[in-house]
Chain A
Amino acid sequence: MPVKPDELWGVLDENPEAVVYAGGTDLLVKLRSQHAKPACLICLERLDDFKGITTEGDEIFIGALTTHREMVGDPIVVRDLRLMATATKSLGSPPVRNMGTLAGNIVTASPAGDTLAPLYVLNAQLEIRSRSATRRAPIESFILGPGKVDLNHGEIVSRIIVSKSPKFGVHHYEKVGRRDSLACAVVSMAALVNVTDDNIISKIRLAWGSVGPTIMRFRSVESFLEGKALSIKGLSEAVRLVKESVHPIDDLRASSSYRREVAGRLLLRLIGYTPCI
């Protein structure tokens, strides 16, 4: 259990097989189901350097080890990142949110990770550190596939960086789970939208979870929607486009056809934000 980054780099150097965890809510479950006992487990929870939420200029910096509970209760998140707050509240359960961290949710890289679709539409960047270097990567290129991320041995995610602007009027996240707590997303959708007074979508970003190997963003759908009315009529063609674009799987939680259908239909929920309502 390193406390300072230097200690961390040291332990990482000495143990090339080391497995790193923060909250343990994913990794320890995985080890149990695989009956695995890694030779070296590094717990990051005491690395205070990688905690806390701050703003600098136009950017918000979220420490990698910020727990989900801390996210939900943070005034900066509540004010500027409502989307993250909503999504994070739907993750797991209260004790899981007390333990799990934002970076943990990212590196687990589950297509159902509840914080991920919001981070995609926020165009989040990850700060990745090793003993000798610091680099930044956009989340979209960092996550390579289910459980796969662009992280080398000796590197850890240190901060998540989100830009404050441009401002969006509508922050929307919906998770479709089979029950209302302790649920894995069957489909989820994050949306940032600006709507004009006469109900026209001026700017929109959309991302879906659990409908492909990673979170999916369809820029063609976004640009198709910009300039359209926020109405059933305006959205219905986009619903069809989304259904054609997703690549969901069948599993115990839902069929691929259901995921496909609902992924599209979730767009309709945006109608609730129509200025005239």
Chain B
Amino acid sequence: MIAKVLISFELNSKKIEVETEPDRRVIDLLREDLGLTGVKESCGRGDCGSCSILVDGFVRLSCLMLAVQLHGRKILTIEGLNELEGVSISVQDAFVELGAVQCGFCTPGMIMSTIDLLNSNPKPSRNEIREAISGNICRCGAYQKILDAVETVTEELSESKNV
């Protein structure tokens, strides 16, 4: 047995400490050890974006990170959005209202990419949205409605700022 490593990080706004094997992938830590099954695995090698999480605010692939890399970082998964306010709730609502969800397996990753986009660019064009979600495969082909949903959030955000 390889010795376990103790790591501490902020997960969905809570500080946590866990012991883990040095070769354990982040996705396995999150899903199997911490019960965060909203993070989905679909390809295991960075080709689909289903396992996207935010690490210090940037979207990353949890299938291509080892758990030890989380040490000292701020991690946000889809489950963590429910406790946040503002942008993330608007994004979730818009995905529901505009029909951006079909089977829903890509949805958590898709939403994480959207939040990363809106954090760095609150007024993206439709093409910029296209680019931002281009690492997230949706096999149901819901892209058009996902774009509609993100556009709606963008419009709402800029309206609320103008008010």
Contact = CB atoms under 8 A, between A and B. Distances in A.
Direct contact between A and B judged by beta carbons closer than 8 A: yes
B135 A182 contact: yes
A236 interface: no
Contacts of B58: 69, 98
Interface in B118-154: 131-137
B66 A96 contact: no
Interface stretch (A27-35, A54-62, A190-198, A211-219): A27-35
A27 to B, nearest CB: 9
B45 A98 contact: no
Contact of A32 (B44, B66, B113): B44
A43 B68 CA distance: 9
Contacts of B71: 1
A45 B70 CA distance: 11
A98 B59 contact: yes
Contacts of B47: 182
A29 B131 contact: no
Interface size range of chain B in the complex: 20 to 34
A94 B110 CA distance: 12
B49 interface: yes
B61 interface: yes
A37 interface: yes
Give the size range of A's interface with the partner: 20 to 34
A24 B66 contact: yes
B23 A29 contact: no
Contacts of B23: 37, 41
B118 to A, nearest CB: 13
B113 A29 contact: no
B142 to A, nearest CB: 16
Interface in A54-105: 69, 92-96, 98-99
A24 B131 contact: no
Interface string B21-52: 01100000000000000000000111101001
A181 interface: yes
Interface of A: 1, 23-25, 28-29, 32-33, 37, 41, 43, 45, 69, 92-96, 98-99, 180-182
Interface of B: 22-23, 44-47, 49, 52, 58-61, 64-66, 68-69, 71, 113, 116, 131-137
Given A1-B71, A95-B49, A182-B135, 18 more contacts: A24-B65, A24-B66, A25-B46, A25-B61, A41-B23, A41-B66, A45-B69, A94-B59, A94-B135, A95-B59, A95-B113, A96-B46, A98-B58, A98-B116, A99-B60, A99-B61, A180-B134, A182-B47
